[in-house]
Structure 1
């Protein structure tokens, strides 16, 4: 059987009460899902063509943009940030943006986000981890993990009424309790990176990159060297 193609993807770890009682927003994938069935995960998914044409109200953090460009070919950091914001909206109903009226017709896939009266703003995103799904899986992703402070959300953090049904049991999980859930291995690793960024969620100087390809698995650092 041919190996599944690797698709670019983005994931968002939203952290609430980072300085006092940190909790992360998670949901559970369906038991019949092809990829990671029944696992608790952060909101995220594959980059769509529409993500490359989305206007932003504020730029992405400069250090994060530089790390996103490392070993990523021509893929623009803004496209990955847009994907992260769109997936957060679709899977949780939460808006990471600023009140703004869109000029012209929003790109396909962004109509409902635009209807909220907001335009995406990636300034709160911090790029903290990258991982490629190992070979042999039914779907493979080159996933960039972002962390964001829940205080930057424009919506009620407890209101998931506008979420799609892709994730169930959406809730804020205390960081200290998250590892007790049924998690993918890489999610457990990323949680440790998030804990290291508390309480200020500052962008790291170098970003861990767990690269899996057909020949070998390497733990690299974007902006640095192999570990």
Structure 2
């Protein structure tokens, strides 16, 4: 049976060193941090990789996955805010920037059953306007599965439906930030949670002016300017 969460950039990916002399080209991907204010601290929607996975079982991750070809040309309910589009397009053409937002919303629905947008029959119309940009992470070159992943944020107020899941992630729930940080995490997920916690401390009208950040190599935090 194929690894259902192998394409999740918020997880560990493939930990086997690449047997190639040339580095594998990273796939474009997006993860979505959906959050709400809990009684004492922010809560984040996360789920766990299956316990039967050979590598890093039961690791807590964000919903997310790689960009599909169809994400480039679908209709949406609303477009990205200009600020979010500009941040996504900093290292990608506008068409890919938009597709990254679509992929994040699509993966949220596929993995959790929650809808950020609307449905017309079987068609998902993504609501891209609520999305904010957090940062980017590129899988180390030694891995045989690599992602150029963008991490996006959405308030839970814009999300509809009940958590149902598709079997791709287990234990889907709203995790208080401290509980999520204390859970079994991939290093990059822990760093993204730290990045998100810092983002929360910034006044909303200043968040798009934060320094652009990318994680590279052994999860080194670097400027993405």
Task: State if a TM-score over 0.5 links the two structures.
Answer: yes
Q: Under a length normalisation based on structure 2, what TM-score does the superposition of the two structures give?
A: 0.80
Q: Under a length normalisation based on structure 1, what TM-score does the superposition of the two structures give?
A: 0.79
Deviation at 1:37, TM superposition (A): 3.9
| C-alpha RMSD of matched pairs (Å) | 2.6
Gaps of 5+ in 2: 1-18
Q: 2:182 aligns with which of 180, 183, 187?
A: 180
Q: Is the 8 A contact 1:212 1:218 kept in 2?
A: no
Q: 1:209 aligns to what?
A: 214
Q: 1:44 aligns to what?
A: 64
Q: 1:69 to 1:18 in 2, by over 3 A?
A: farther
Q: 1:166 aligns to what?
A: 168
Q: 1:219 aligns to what?
A: 222
Write the distance in 2 (CA, Å) between the matches of 1:219 and 1:47: 24
Write the distance in 1 (CA, Å) between the matches of 2:199 and 2:50: 30
Deviation at 1:209, TM superposition (A): 1.1
Runs of 4+ in 1 over 6 A off after TM superposition: none
Gaps of 5+ in 1: 103-110
Q: Is the 8 A contact 2:134 2:196 kept in 1?
A: yes
Q: 1:13 to 1:193 in 2, by over 3 A?
A: same
**1:9-24 mapped onto 2 (5 Å cutoff):** 9-17=29-37, 21-24=41-44
Q: 1:33 to 1:53 in 2, by over 3 A?
A: farther
Write the distance in 1 (CA, Å) between the matches of 2:51 and 2:86: 37
